[in-house]
Structure 1
Amino acid sequence: MLKNYIGVLMLNEKEDNIKSLTKSRPIASIPIGGRYRIIDFVLSNMVNSGIHNVGIFTNTKSRSLVDHVGSGQPWDLDRKINGLFLFNLTSERSQLNDIDVLSENMEYIYRTKQEYVIMSSSYMVCNIDYNEAAKYHEESGSDITLIYKKTNNAKKHYVGCSTLYINEENKVLSIGKNIGAEDKLNIGMEMFIMKKSTLIDIINKCIQTGSHNSIKAAIYDDVSQLNVNAYEFKGYLQCVNSIKNYYKTSMDMLNGKVTKELFFNNGLIYTKSKDEAPTKYFNEAKVNNSLIANGCILKGKIDKSVISRRVTVEEGAEIKNCIIFQNCQIKKGCKLTNVIIDKNTIISENTVLEGDEEFPVVIEKKFRT
């Protein structure tokens, strides 16, 4: 168990291709799977691996994130010693890079008693046991270990993600970017294992020289000078960095094999619980291969969809291949196909919306809570 490790989550992921879901929330707090948020996966992975000191470094528009993670109680991080720490929630600057965020909160890093750090983003959705990766890192004697996944479908997925070029000894030679030109690539999962002293040295160097504004860029540009190794993750992975990938990840969760691996294989995925009544299925309701959260009222036809809490689907409505966030109302006679609907939205009677699996229609609210 990784009691000698702290977890550092950097939530300044690129939102260029998913902005319709991140206007009032970070990627980390986008709902997924009916009752979860994207950050639940990395938080649960760390806790299941024995990490009990986690720092979340975020930018503004973090209200939904703070409301969700709270004191960390669902992940057993509500502790007197160690626990969950959130930083940069009230910065006057709307967008800070991670070197700025870390440098303003160096006291947290200095005061932690743990020797090692696992640094990660939130949008890599997987269920990973960090113990094996940490063991590999310590035995290798490397400065930094990057976690990666081999993929055979890089033209369609992981576009925009980092790509690792490694030799037979798993040493990282160089790092590039997936532009969708090749299928077989090593995809960097933006998970870094290192000593705390190494992280401090990188931050101080970036501040002193002004050479980089992110930890990731500093590591990637200095792989020739640092001893950087790679550890292969062989499980299910998706990067939620676009509407297309978010939609695919959600639809993958309807596959029983993926669901079992993603939510159970290396430990459970925890989330904020809400004590609500179970979903009520009326006689006329027809539901097929869907994830349905609690508190819903269902009278229509639902096929291969993900329905969040407190959604009402009235009689005569037909929903297929859709993702519907909480507190939505789908009125009589609606026909929705390949649609993502944000929170607190009312779809009027007899509305017909049809998107494509590659380009789903996104219905967003101007104001969200």
Structure 2
Amino acid sequence: MRKNDICAVLSLTEQSDSLRALTLKRPIAALPFASRFRIIDFPLSSVSEAGVKSVALFIGKSGRSIYDHVRSGSSWGFDSHVNGGIFTFSQQFYKYSLGEEVGYEDFYEDLIEFVKRSHVGYVFISGSKVIANVNLEDVKQEHIESGCDITQIFDEGHRNLNKYLLSTPKLYEMISLAVKEKLFVEVDELIRHYSAKETVNTYIHLGYTAIINDLSDYFHANMDMLDSQKFKSLFYASNPVVTKTRNGAPSFFTDDAIVLNSLIATDCVVRGHVERSLLSRRVEVEKDAHVKNTIILQGCHIGKGASIEYAILDKGVQVGKGAVIKGTPDNILLITKNDIIGENEERRV
């Protein structure tokens, strides 16, 4: 099998009630991770490294945050393929409501056309809420040697990572059966539904893995990156993890700033105390502010003397002078996008 005999279909439609406040206008795949990455960077990096030239993104809603991050796919090398690239299919949730009104006859049309035009023998299908640096070349080799219809990927704890490799004819067969049985679901759900009737090979992914089912999972997966062994297991595996290139100035730390065991992206200014926390781009922490066990996303400002612990601050949050934001290890406090915490205001769980 030639190196690029695989196309990839990424289903970005997974949802979580616990993550709803973070994912109202972005899919789980677009959530920031480890200060400078997005969750979608991991499957995109895996398929790029394996020589995949065509990738389809099936998005639940409008997908604006995904478009802004992925663009032409140049960061992963997809813009250089003459007959390939990244193809986006948004408003999948609308298709369900439309199908209830006019029927589902064309439900799988975009998927079928994408695979046909990719001219490949195999299809890699993945959900969007798993953080793992999977070596797709190894998966492909093991799949061929197994002789099975489907290869399903698990982690070392035998958790299903919602990632599959199967032949193009087998996928068409499943789609035909689904239409006959009036089963209209996302492609990853389709594979799970029919896999019990097929021969399935189990591939065990060795290395750091996180599954983002809820807010606690998201918080702890980020915090795991402060553990050097887990960080190396994820980012220093056989595949490089690539993200969108951004130009930025180095972060600035005053002489009296204190930073302990934290990940801090570019364009930040730190004048206060940051401990066991992750700061995305353009975050400013003023003098005498204390930030601990916290994730702060892009463009937030933490006022002088503010105190924040066990919290997640979404983009653009403004925290006033002397404000207090306190969650607990078992109940992480989420401050939603562009919220303003007034001077000396307190937010606690």
Q: Tell me if both proteins adopt one fold, taking TM over 0.5 as the criterion.
A: yes
Change (3 A) 1:254 1:83: farther
For structure 1, the residue ranges without an aligned partner over 5 or more in a row are 152-185
* Mapping 1:68-217, distance limit 5 Å: 68-89=69-90, 93=94, 102-151=108-157, 186-217=158-189
TM value normalised by structure 1? 0.85
Amino acid at match of 1:28: A
Stretch moving more, 315-324 or 108-117: 108-117
Match of 1:339 in 2: 311
Correspondence for 1:329 among 301, 304, 307: 301
Match of 2:346 in 1: none
Amino acid at match of 2:328: D
The Cα shift of 1:328 comes to 0.4
Q: Would you say 1:280 and 2:252 are equivalent positions? A: yes
- Local SS of the residue matching 1:118: strand
For structure 2, the residue ranges without an aligned partner over 5 or more in a row are 340-349
The Cα shift of 1:80 comes to 4.0
Amino acid at match of 1:120: S
Cα-to-partner distance string for 1:124-182 (whole Å, 9 max, x where unaligned): 1011211121111111111111011232xxxxxxxxxxxxxxxxxxxxxxxxxxxxxxx
- Local SS of the residue matching 1:322: strand
- Local SS of the residue matching 1:343: coil
The Cα shift of 1:88 comes to 2.3
Seq. identity, %? 31
Cα-to-partner distance string for 1:103-143 (whole Å, 9 max, x where unaligned): 33421111111111111112110112111211111111111
The answer to which structure, 1 or 2, has the higher relative contact order (CA under 8 A, 6+ apart) is 1
CA distance in 1, matches of 2:290, 2:95: 41
TM value normalised by structure 2? 0.90
Match of 2:52 in 1: 51
- Decide which structure has greater helix share: 2
Cα-to-partner distance string for 1:165-219 (whole Å, 9 max, x where unaligned): xxxxxxxxxxxxxxxxxxxxx2111010100111122122212221352334443
Amino acid at match of 1:234: L
CA distance in 2, matches of 1:6, 1:257: 32
The Cα shift of 1:91 comes to 6.5
Give yes or no for contact 2:235–2:241 (8 Å, CA) kept in 1.
yes
Match of 1:26 in 2: 27
Change (3 A) 1:216 1:199: same
CA distance in 1, matches of 2:299, 2:196: 51
CA distance in 2, matches of 1:26, 1:298: 30
- Local SS of the residue matching 2:139: helix
The Cα shift of 1:89 comes to 2.8
Amino acid at match of 1:18: L
Change (3 A) 1:361 1:71: same
- Local SS of the residue matching 1:321: strand
* Mapping 1:258-269, distance limit 5 Å: 258-269=230-241
CA distance in 1, matches of 2:283, 2:219: 19
Q: Would you say 1:38 and 2:10 are equivalent positions? A: no
CA distance in 1, matches of 2:105, 2:220: 32
RMSD: 2.2
Match of 1:169 in 2: none
Change (3 A) 1:60 1:217: closer
Give yes or no for contact 1:100–1:213 (8 Å, CA) kept in 2.
no
Q: Would you say 1:298 and 2:270 are equivalent positions? A: yes
Change (3 A) 1:113 1:252: same
CA distance in 2, matches of 1:117, 1:252: 31
- Local SS of the residue matching 2:80: coil
Q: Would you say 1:61 and 2:62 are equivalent positions? A: yes
